[in-house]
Structure 1
Amino acid sequence: MKKWTVALLLTGVVACQQSPSTDESNPAQNIAGVSFVEEVKAQAGKTVIPYQKYVLDNGLTVILHQDMSDPLAHVDVTYHVGSAREDIGKSGFAHFFEHMMFQGSENVADEEHFKIITEAGGTLNGTTNTDRTNYFETVPSNQLEKMLWLEADRMGFLLDAVTEKKFENQRETVKNERGQRVDNRPYGRLWETVSAAMYPEGHPYSWPVIGYMDDLNRANVNDMKAFFSRWYGPNNATLTIGGDIDVEQTLVLVNKYFGTIPRGPEVVDQEPQPAVLEADRYVSFEDNIHLPLIYMSFPTVSLRDEDEAPLDVLASILGGGKTSLLYKNLVKNQLAVQASTNHPCAELACTFTLLALPHPASGKSLADMEKVIRDTLVEFEQRGVEDDDLLKVKAEMESNFIFGLQSVSGKVSQLAANETFSKDPNYIEKDIARYNNVTKEDVMRVYNTYIKDKSAVIVSVVPNGKPETAAKADNWEIKPRTIPEYAETKADDVVIRRAKDTFDRSVMPQAGVAKAVSVPVMWNQKLSNGIKVLGTQSLETPTTSLLIKLPAGNYYQDKSQAGIASLTAQMLNESTTERSAEDMSKELRKLGSSVNISASANYLNININALTKNLDATLALVNEKLQKPAFKADEFARLQGQTIQGIINNKKDAGYLASRAYDALLNADNIAALPSSGTQATVSALKVEDAKAYYDKFVKPANGQIIAVSDLTQAQLVVSLKSMESWQGEGPALDITLPASDAKTGVIYLVNKDGAAQSAIRIGKRSLTRDFTGEFYKSYLMNFPLGGAFNSRINLNLREDKGYTYGAGAYFSGDKEAGRYTAYGEVRADATDASIVEFVKEIDNYAANGITDEELSFMRAAVNQRDARKYETPRAKLGFLGQILEYDLSPSFVAEQAKIVETISKDEINGLAKKHLNLKEMVFVVVGDAKTLRPQLEALGYEVIDYKI
């Protein structure tokens, strides 16, 4: 079941008092053009994001957060413009600029933005929603000035660099993104269908964020420039910087690079516009799916309305995990494979949503699903709100607030969002209060106001050719849009504001002196039952994160029982002999803790996150899960049925089909050739006794591992972990070989997916097992400029130059038992054959001619400067420590890797390329419309073999 989360829990933290806005000691007092607004300081005993807020004379809001715990800086530029600012017939412009802003600006060459940040050891991205667009990067702190130069250049010096060629290329990229995320994905058109039915024509939320392709096709480059000129001025933006920064020095740099950018047109906040429905609107559409879906959406309020918080609590009661009413009435009794409730909120409007996918074995229709959902609402009326309902929400809220503080990027994004939508980075004081103050009466009031006897949009998504299976006949037609007559924007119509500088912006700033990055201080322990513990202390938040790894993963199962490891892990998330799954879920939620058990290739993994004050109580529940599972037949039957339906449904996804075929072709008849979830045949044959037998044989503590990141000392944490020593036993050692298959290489295996808008491609072969300082690691370095970065040869060719795909690349992967090399991409259906040609050209050329001097330099800088990001968060530390424990590494391997990066020669890299990139040794997998693709692929000269999953 989809996990329910309270809206906005990750947008803030507990507040503290603000200092007076006239503070005479502020760093801005001697910087012309910068005005101090306010300061929020840390207070003992409170969870807070300290910050200082400033405004430049041109209207740019600047928020600075100093965090010296890691030598990192995170920069976020949020523009208060999303798809809601677009005009009718010109949808998708905001999202389009999310792409254009990475294509170079006046002083940054084409394709250089990603390269500069990657070479700096950073990571970057951008996102667009209905109400804002943000661009962000995390880099070593000595690279901060370079990031400010980059962001300022695309804010103030973009338009002259927007060429017709770039415009056309990114238009194709957006089409590919839509193809991959909407048209070629099951249920991909649901959200835009709901929006079109919910809101009246012309409402800012009535069109999808990604836009309609007709609108993008109609637009010209000057339309886009005019949109940018209107909305992307500094006075409609918030620049938030956090991390290891000097506040005064940072302000000087911000003013230097941003201060001369002229203001844009004034921007007025949009007024809330919640939808109003006079009657239920039934809408349906057909899709290439296995399971039908019903989606009910009630209009409610708008972002941060006083009723938003109680509506979130209502969503928790109705659909929040195993304790919810929908889970009881639909999922637990196997009427539905999935059911969930949510209350997504945006700046102008919110909706209360309920969805369900009926279980085929139940024989229930979408009409039946609707009735159960409506009966559940009546049941809620009779049940009312219980004390635990409020306790769970408030505990989860506290936990989510605190866990949101574990990265500088998380803190910066919270500050930026609060400023953008409330003009108050410290809005969290109100946020905390409104959730803590929700009463039972509030929840019942909002139910009666917005849900009971109210109208909704009810969308049925049905399999192709089965329109009669909709919940009810359509009574609402989504009519063709009324598009105003297109008035072409001329170049002279675009207002370009130009800055007047006293320095040369064409000169990229040099990085400062890099600060040393320290490997976390680690400690070792071994519990009396044979579990090895590797831990480190992290004092940033009062939390503990644990990863327990038991040698009982997918490799331990027989291929005839593929899927049993995964099902056993799922059963450990269900009832124990002491309490029901619902009671277990309730106890964990009241602690604000999360425990998730899953299977990977080698291990059964137990991921635990808890507030340290609740660690012992959480571990007591973990011990109960691991030592006293109930293995109830009805729970196994439910999970088995959900797994089977998931397998069937996955076959509608091109990416899944490609990976499934690729796994089978690379491996002989062994467990690695099968998906981790199993196949329909193997899972159908399993019984609850098989899961119990698997547990009894393999799920034992001896030779297990615990990786721990906590604010506790070693001595303190070990006291808590000793509660696990009552669990005893040792399972059999892994005895497995994974031979490669004898599949024919150098040919194309074609998997049919009728009418696919995109084709999924995999090209590769079996390769090296994983190591950290040997040939596997060196081959990773070799592949980096070919397929391992955004600006790799493969991605620049297929995405940026040709516009065939939303993304493509290549990578080495492996574990102790096996490894592989894989090139991948999902490409436009009409460019499938051309994409194969380009993949082959890039791989062959690299194998024959090797790495360039520029690429070698880029790889050295990019890889070695990433260390600052390796250990920032508890999650990152868990991954790092997990590698050390699993592969018995010395912490010095990091220094050894750095030395390899600095000293590996061009000749050695080129030798590895020749050795590992022989296309004649590789299999080609293509998933798409076979009747169209077969003649095209054969025309390339390949033997094409039909392959069925």
Structure 2
Amino acid sequence: MKITRLLALSFLVISALSCKEEGGSDTAFAKAENSQFEVPFEKFTLDNGLTVILHQDTSDPVVAVALTAHVGSAREIEGRTGFAHLFEHLLFLESENLGKGGLDAMSARIGGSGANGSTSRDRTNYFQTVPKDALEKMIWAEADKLGFFINTVTDPVLAKEKQVVKNEKRQSVDNRPYGHARYVVGKNLYPEGHPYNWQVIGSLEDLQNATLQDVKDFYNRWYTPNNTTLTIAGDFDIAQTKEWVEKYFGEIPRGEEIPTMEKQPVQVETTKRLYYEDNFARLPQLTMTWPTVPNYDKDSYALDVLSAYLAEGKNAPFNKILIDNKQLTAGVQMYNYGSELAGEFSLSINAYPGKDLDDVLVGVNEAFTKFELEGISQKDLDRIKAGQETQFYNGLSSVLGKGFQLAQYEIFAGDPGYIAEDVKRILAVTKEDVQRVYETYIKGKNYISTSFVPKGQTDLILEDSQLAQVVEEKIVEGAEESFDASIAAEYERTPSSFDRSKEPPYGDTPQINAPTVWEETLSSGLKVYGIENSEVPLVQFQINIRGGLLLEDIKKVGVSNLLADLLMKGTATKTTAQLENEIESLGASIYTYTDKENVYIGGTTLAKNYDKTIALVQEILLEPRWDETEFELLKQSTLSRLEQQQANPNSIAAIEFDKLIYGKNSLLAQNTLGTPASVKSITLEDLKTFYTNNISPTVTKLQVVGAIDEGKATNALAGLNDNWEAREVIIPTPVVPQAPEQSNVYFYDVPDAKQSVLRFGYPAMAETDPNFYPAQMMNYRLGGGGFASQLTQELREGKGYTYGIRSRFSGSTLPGAFSISSGVRSNVTYESTALVKDILKNYGKNFTEDDLDVSKSFLLKSQARAFETIGAKLNMLDDIANLGISPDYVKERQTIVENMTVAEIKKLSAQYLNPDKMIYLVVGDKKTQMDKLEQLGYGTPILLNEKKQTVKD
């Protein structure tokens, strides 16, 4: 997770003042004083240097707790890279007083959001949102990380977690297209010795070489109160919380003083062109990166505007030249990324298949020239700023988001109240500033370019490029060391003034009230569902038009997807650019997409602009532009996306699994994008026919949540209701196959894959099935409960085979699949599969009362978090509208949970978890992994592709 600067409001006025508390401790208060919205906070510092920031928000009975250490990969040393990120993992495993499983085990019991963390170049944070009655437990647990952790780390624990982190690197870097691009840029943009020269994830070699003493030294240096910020945001008593913070954190000793790292912006002495043949790429990619300034530098604000103007929207210079005129790519990504010590401005373009990157560079230079000649208009500058208000509120829609931002300002700007200066600098950006930063950092300046191309296509790289140095891991059987992470550490407990081994009690049980839902059916047949919520002055909405892929001709799959995309490409009276400008000028966003069952249009807007935003939605829906040029561009873009899907083993697995689940001739098995052959055959008339026959209010439901009442929400729909022609649309009910009578193993070959992607399962049931929620409850301890699940505990925590694994029942009004999904180290493909099979076989037999208690505790207590954000409320409405369930479904499910028994779980397991009646799909390296899978006892694996290939028609 990357925490970025929140964009602020044009009308936000901030005041900050200091005062003294009784007792003499320094306290600072800051308050955003606005008639609609406030963000108050209180900051104080313990004697040991721990910075504490409190933000009280009583809108939901939840509290977010975040512990942020001012240490990231920039505080590492070369040869021991990846330590900061390794610690992010280690700190969840155990501590002296929480014991094995640490915070993860407690999280399941208390109904938390799941303890999580993230690491950047400059900080590591640990966070979770919990019901308010668990706050003392969380403060106790976080203090244990900071003062009572390191003794529990043993050589076996370290060995196991090294494997988990290495699996994460394989998944996020080594086994995906362009995964090594950031490594190449970092090594060449930042000189040797610069803290940003290496990647946050580190290198496999450095991780393997880490010793237990290295780990202890790193912890003792950086994980100290005086290098840490504790943020607590939500519904809590301030005085009581201060007492708990002092009790649990106060006696942790202060660490060494940590000097501030000086800013280290870099200069590139000469432009470097590098290339690499990517094992997974199907499209040539050009990336260009210039050094810029650290975050919160005065120039960073104008650089943010520059990147948005150059590459976002139909009228953006890069889109006009590279997408519309030269048709070299489907999209351009550009961003200014500031870190604590330095910054960079990056441009990335995935060209169409076979396009020479030298031609792309010509287009890049033309786009820059266009900007130099025309500059940015005041209207465009105002348009870009208009979206900042909505983005600001979105960032603060949860207590965790508020806590993150306060910590961000504290650590990197030196003041949680920096929002005042942040707002000032955002609003102060002028047209001249945007032109100036372009000339200062981009125009004529040296940069780093990378050409990542498919194997055997070096003719596409930039001229005069040099081969980039990348270390590729080899697949070696039995290469990883063995370990037993269950061995308990022996140590002398860290002394404390009280018994920390005793978990604090729960506080008062929070009162949980499901939101009040209103419903209305308009005369056209359009059904509207809403929840009024004024926590932030936003409205989110979504329109579901039933049909989607279900209504397509199987010979021309992809029509509804192209239609959804084309709806955003202008209206009868507005070009694409004009439509985008109107939306952005409102500070709104509107999206369209399709899936197997629906066409969607939705968005977010300021409540004050809801009427105008809905008017634009009406125009988009009822007055399509049917632009032939835009249609052809979308077809070309879709073909490019199909090509990219075949570069990603996870995408391959998802597509192939659907075919195996539903049967290759079923509409449900089809890729919503279509196939290359079907997309090429689709005409604009096909879209018009689909639109005329199937886009009707009689099969449409709209959900709306936010700072708007029922009357205003429905009044704004009058035009849509009056002008949308109703027609009968018959939704077919496709036949979904039964589970196979016996298991089969299928293999898709991706040569030299560093991981094997696993998809196991069978056709199961619809979400409307009475057994669906009970089966979900049964699945919690199997693979639906994150670190509380057996699959995670055995394959990740016990064996180190994977970074993550999950099981789930998917479904809607139509039957979905039960599935288990993971990416595992390539050389343990069989071992992982066999272990999953064994877990499934014994899960019901071994299910205990303790398992049931944990499942019940989580599912009941987590309801306190169920409706915190606008998005969560919108999802609730989606379930009510489209599954036909009662608005009181929360209470109904609570009854199911309370009445569940171990015997019922065992019965459900026997019914739904038979490993001998499943589909086993593996996407990986055939030459080293496929044959071993015959040992599963399900016959010879069936090869789905004969060789590495591009996507077939």
Q: How does 1:698-709 map to 2 (within 5 A)?
A: 698-709=694-705
Return the offset for 1:477. Answer: 6.0
Return the offset for 1:925. Answer: 0.4
Aligned residues: 920
Query: Residue 53 of structure 2 contacts residue 230 of structure 2 at CA under 8 Å; is this kept in 1?
Result: yes
Q: 1:245 to 1:828 in 2, by over 3 A?
A: same
Gaps of 5+ in 1: 481-495
SS class of match (2:197): coil
Moved more, 665-674 or 466-475: 466-475
SS class of match (1:8): coil
Query: Residue 768 of structure 1 contacts residue 814 of structure 1 at CA under 8 Å; is this kept in 2?
Result: yes
Partner of 1:493: none
Q: How does 1:264-663 map to 2 (within 5 A)?
A: 264-288=255-279, 289-333=281-325, 334-360=327-353, 364-475=355-466, 500-663=495-658
Return the offset for 1:821. Answer: 0.9
Partner of 1:219: 210
For 1:678 and 1:936, the matched residues in 2 are separated by 34
C-alpha deviations, 1:274-299, integer Å up to 9, x for none? 12112111111110211010000111
Return the offset for 1:750. Answer: 0.8
Given candidates 171, 183, 186, the residue that maps to 1:180 is 171
Query: Residue 294 of structure 1 contacts residue 459 of structure 1 at CA under 8 Å; is this kept in 2?
Result: yes
Q: Which amino acid aligns with 2:367?
A: T
Return the offset for 1:321. Answer: 2.6
Partner of 2:948: none
For 1:245 and 1:817, the matched residues in 2 are separated by 43
For 2:495 and 2:736, the matched residues in 1 are separated by 66
Q: How does 1:850-929 map to 2 (within 5 A)?
A: 850-929=846-925
Moved more, 182-191 or 8-17: 8-17
Query: Residue 12 of structure 1 contacts residue 426 of structure 1 at CA under 8 Å; is this kept in 2?
Result: no
Using the size of structure 1 for normalisation, the TM-score is 0.94
For 1:574 and 1:293, the matched residues in 2 are separated by 26
Instruction: Find out whether 1:58 has 2:48 as its counterpart.
Output: yes
For 1:901 and 1:167, the matched residues in 2 are separated by 38
Return the offset for 1:497. Answer: 13
Using the size of structure 2 for normalisation, the TM-score is 0.94
Return the offset for 1:663. Answer: 0.8
For 2:768 and 2:505, the matched residues in 1 are separated by 34
Instruction: Find out whether 1:85 has 2:75 as its counterpart.
Output: yes
Return the offset for 1:892. Answer: 2.2
For 1:613 and 1:626, the matched residues in 2 are separated by 22
For 2:376 and 2:32, the matched residues in 1 are separated by 36
Query: Residue 544 of structure 1 contacts residue 708 of structure 1 at CA under 8 Å; is this kept in 2?
Result: yes
For 2:790 and 2:199, the matched residues in 1 are separated by 32
Query: Residue 145 of structure 1 contacts residue 253 of structure 1 at CA under 8 Å; is this kept in 2?
Result: yes
For 2:294 and 2:259, the matched residues in 1 are separated by 17
Q: Which amino acid aligns with 1:799?
A: R
Q: 1:742 to 1:61 in 2, by over 3 A?
A: closer
SS class of match (2:298): coil
For 1:207 and 1:58, the matched residues in 2 are separated by 32
Q: Which amino acid aligns with 1:804?
A: Y
Return the offset for 1:745. Answer: 3.7
For 2:492 and 2:160, the matched residues in 1 are separated by 25
For 1:735 and 1:706, the matched residues in 2 are separated by 22
Instruction: Find out whether 1:728 has 2:714 as its counterpart.
Output: no
Return the offset for 1:252. Answer: 0.4
Instruction: Find out whether 1:67 has 2:62 as its counterpart.
Output: no
Moved more, 315-324 or 724-733: 724-733
Q: Which amino acid aligns with 2:322?
A: L
Instruction: Find out whether 1:696 has 2:686 as its counterpart.
Output: no
Given candidates 166, 170, 183, the residue that maps to 2:161 is 170
Partner of 2:487: none
For 2:507 and 2:739, the matched residues in 1 are separated by 53
Query: Residue 9 of structure 2 contacts residue 388 of structure 2 at CA under 8 Å; is this kept in 1?
Result: no
Q: 1:741 to 1:465 in 2, by over 3 A?
A: farther
Q: Which amino acid aligns with 1:455?
A: N
For 2:166 and 2:100, the matched residues in 1 are separated by 21
Partner of 1:821: 818
Q: Which amino acid aligns with 2:365?
A: R
Q: Which amino acid aligns with 1:38?
A: A
Q: 1:686 to 1:229 in 2, by over 3 A?
A: same
Partner of 2:483: none
For 1:114 and 1:664, the matched residues in 2 are separated by 36
For 1:180 and 1:125, the matched residues in 2 are separated by 18
Return the offset for 1:942. Answer: 3.4
For 1:67 and 1:604, the matched residues in 2 are separated by 37
Q: Which amino acid aligns with 1:638?
A: L
Q: Which amino acid aligns with 2:510?
A: K
Moved more, 496-505 or 165-174: 496-505
Instruction: Find out whether 1:710 has 2:718 as its counterpart.
Output: no
Partner of 2:116: 125
Q: 1:307 to 1:763 in 2, by over 3 A?
A: same
Moved more, 459-468 or 798-807: 459-468
For 2:883 and 2:630, the matched residues in 1 are separated by 36
SS class of match (1:816): coil
C-alpha deviations, 1:324-370, integer Å up to 9, x for none? 1111111234221221211111111111111212223xx64101111
Moved more, 517-526 or 742-751: 742-751
C-alpha deviations, 1:189-212, integer Å up to 9, x for none? 111111101010011001000001
Return the offset for 1:771. Answer: 2.7
SS class of match (1:22): strand
Query: Residue 739 of structure 2 contacts residue 917 of structure 2 at CA under 8 Å; is this kept in 1?
Result: no
Partner of 1:488: none
Query: Residue 6 of structure 2 contacts residue 405 of structure 2 at CA under 8 Å; is this kept in 1?
Result: no
Instruction: Find out whether 1:763 has 2:760 as its counterpart.
Output: yes
Query: Residue 748 of structure 1 contacts residue 925 of structure 1 at CA under 8 Å; is this kept in 2?
Result: yes
For 1:731 and 1:35, the matched residues in 2 are separated by 70
Percent identity over paired residues: 37
Query: Residue 667 of structure 1 contacts residue 741 of structure 1 at CA under 8 Å; is this kept in 2?
Result: no
Query: Residue 281 of structure 1 contacts residue 458 of structure 1 at CA under 8 Å; is this kept in 2?
Result: yes
SS class of match (1:410): helix
For 1:800 and 1:292, the matched residues in 2 are separated by 38
Q: Which amino acid aligns with 2:283?
A: L
Q: 1:546 to 1:343 in 2, by over 3 A?
A: same
Partner of 1:801: 798
Root-mean-square deviation (CA, aligned residues, Å) is 2.1
Q: 1:342 to 1:497 in 2, by over 3 A?
A: farther
Q: Which amino acid aligns with 1:752?
A: D
Partner of 1:489: none
Partner of 1:670: 666
Query: Residue 666 of structure 1 contacts residue 673 of structure 1 at CA under 8 Å; is this kept in 2?
Result: yes
Query: Residue 664 of structure 1 contacts residue 674 of structure 1 at CA under 8 Å; is this kept in 2?
Result: yes
C-alpha deviations, 1:115-143, integer Å up to 9, x for none? 21122111121000001000000000010
Q: Which amino acid aligns with 2:397?
A: Q
Partner of 1:201: 192
Q: 1:10 to 1:209 in 2, by over 3 A?
A: farther
Q: Which amino acid aligns with 2:351?
A: P
Partner of 1:484: none
For 2:450 and 2:269, the matched residues in 1 are separated by 16
Return the offset for 1:687. Answer: 1.4
Partner of 2:482: none
